[in-house]
Amino acid sequence: MKTARSAARTNLTGWTLPKLVHTRGGATFDPRSDVWAYRDNVDSVSLNFLHTDGLSERLRYNLKCVLVTYAENSSACHLQNMFNRFLDFVRFLSSDRRELIDEIRDTDLLSYRDYLHAATAWYFGAIAGLLKRWHALAIDGVSAEAVHLLEALRIGGNQKGSAVLTMDPWVGPFTDIELKQIRASLDENFERGALPEGDYLLAWLFMALGQRPVQYAALKIRDVRATTDHGETHYSIQMPRAKQRNASPRLQLRDRPLIPQLGAPLQTYAQTLRTKFGPLLADPSDAPLFPASDRLIRETDNWPPGFKYHQTGKVLGRNLATTLRKLQVRSERTGEQVNITPVRFRRTFGTRAAQEGHGELVIAELLDHSDTQNVGVYVAAVPEIAARIDRAIALQMAPLAQAFKGVLIKDESEATRGDDPASRIVDLRIDRSMKPMGSCGQYSFCGFNAPLACYTCNHFQPWLDGPHEAVLDHLIAKREQLLATTDQRMASINDTTILAVAQVIELCRCAKEASDG
């Protein structure tokens, strides 16, 4: 009998599991165990064969032999996916039979294909790929009839792009209003110390670059670059190309420029980490840019070679999503809290690139795809995110978006700076009588454009009798003008402010009705 590695190209029907498997990424594990759990660079693997209790011992053993070849030659993510898809297949087969499964038959495949629905139809393609390799390796367990069926069937691939094409409000791209709300909430929570610096900068990198969690997990301090040219500092980051079928996600790096507003604080943050990891690593530049938790750093000794103290991509993405859900940003589409996940930032990045007129080749390069087969959906969609907004729509959407962050007051007597005339917010373009819209409750200098920036600021205190209707009319007229002379992206620049003003108008109406009643 030969081991899985040495017999990979033979026609032997008897296979013996080796005592130790070396993965493509350099990890090792014992495949005879019922649980395969290990770190492979910035990926994690957890395969529990005890969950395949519907299989006979012989078929479970042969399944391990097949999956060893995936562990040796494919990414950890692909191995995990193959196991998960086969596990779903086994659970389906076991649901209506009492005897153990000792062979995969053609009738099993037909039943499973009929069981899947549109969203999960691609599972069958994954199962077909695994079973074809199973047969090619001459390992027992797949009937000849099943193989003939797979060869005869036309098997579709994974359904791509439905979340983007439908602008799904839960998993698709963010609208411009949602994205602006997320950005504003990020800044606000970071300024008041409610958001860790690493999470804050990571979220901005997701929005700025649209890369995958595994790529950010593989980043190191040395990847943040700053160069000076004629007195001007330019910032960039070397992004690992983590999904290019390489053994290590850092074999290829791609330079991505950063705006100074992000590059400068990221450079300062990297220097802080360099000091922290100085006592822990011979070269602190080798430290991860977004490291594992302090508890794991203290308690874990077994780190993958070259990735000491790194998080896995899954953990990084999950932790960031958990942190950002605390922002409690509301969606103007659903009225519910926005579901903020890493993949939605990526889909938004691709969608906005298409809206700006970039073609498939450029979008593929920006999203770090090796080809254009998965980016056509962005160009095909070019969704009308910046939908037409008039007064009626604004008043209807305002309660859902919750864009107004300040506090409505009766008049100047209730203002935080009621004794300071300079706190009054006025605009001659909107009201030539100089009637104030409200008061500013901030004591420090503010360089934002009043009154447009005021309505989305948490320091703004609008007056009950302020000319808010005139502000709304002014903004909608300006939007129509931009829509006629430029494009929807420019026209929608003040949409969040429009919703905030509309919300203030509704709050004033409710307050006056309560007072009259």
Q: Which residue has the tokens 């909430």?
A: 185
Residue that finishes a domain, picked among 117, 152, 187: 152
Residue 9 has pLDDT above 60, yes or no: no
Kindly report, residue by residue over 179-228, the tens digit of the pLDDT.
Answer: 989 998 999 999 999 999 999 999 999 999 999 999 999 999 999 999 99
Instruction: Indicate whether 65 belongs to any domain.
Output: yes
Instruction: Indicate whether 173 belongs to any domain.
Output: yes
Pair (113, 231) in one structural domain: no
d(CA 473, CA 498): 9
The per-residue pLDDT for 390 is 78
Instruction: Indicate whether 56 belongs to any domain.
Output: yes
Pair (338, 443) in one structural domain: no
How, if at all, do strands 21-22 and 28-29 pair?
Answer: antiparallel
Pair (83, 147) in one structural domain: yes
The per-residue pLDDT for 156 is 65
Which residues fall within 8 angstroms of residue 370, CB to CB, at 6 or more apart? 244, 364
Pair (220, 368) in one structural domain: yes
Which residues fall within 8 angstroms of residue 182, CB to CB, at 6 or more apart? 174, 207, 324, 327, 329, 338, 340
Instruction: Indicate whether 120 belongs to any domain.
Output: yes
Residue 331 vs residues 39, 68, 109, 112: alpha-carbon distances, Å? 37, 45, 42, 38
Residue 13 has pLDDT above 80, yes or no: no
Number of domain units in the chain:
3
Kindly report, residue by residue over 300-341, the tens digit of the pLDDT.
Answer: 888 998 999 999 999 999 999 998 988 889 898 888 999 999
pLDDT band at 388 (very low <50, low <70, confident <90, very high): low
Query: What is the CATH classification number for the domain harbouring 254?
Result: 1.10.443.10
Pair (349, 421) in one structural domain: no
Which residues fall within 8 angstroms of residue 225, CB to CB, at 6 or more apart? 235, 236, 237, 238, 255
Instruction: Indicate whether 386 belongs to any domain.
Output: no
Average pLDDT of the residues in 80-109:
94
Question: Dihedral sign, CA of 329, 332, 337, 339?
Answer: negative
Residue that finishes a domain, picked among 152, 183, 206: 152
Higher pLDDT, 158 or 40: 40
Residue 193 lies in domain: 162-293+304-381
Residue 4 has pLDDT above 50, yes or no: no
Residue that finishes a domain, picked among 350, 381, 412: 381
d(CA 397, CA 49): 50
Pair (276, 143) in one structural domain: no
Instruction: Indicate whether 315 belongs to any domain.
Output: yes
Pair (198, 130) in one structural domain: no
Residue 446 has pLDDT above 90, yes or no: no
Instruction: Indicate whether 157 belongs to any domain.
Output: no
Average pLDDT value over all residues in the chain: 88
The per-residue pLDDT for 452 is 83
Pair (439, 461) in one structural domain: yes
The per-residue pLDDT for 373 is 66
Pair (268, 358) in one structural domain: yes
Pair (364, 407) in one structural domain: no
Per DSSP, the residues of 271-296 read HHHHHHHTTT-SSGGGSBSSBPPHHH
Pair (143, 172) in one structural domain: no
Question: Dihedral sign, CA of 156, 158, 162, 165?
Answer: negative
d(CA 40, CA 106): 35
Pair (38, 71) in one structural domain: yes
Instruction: Indicate whether 299 belongs to any domain.
Output: no
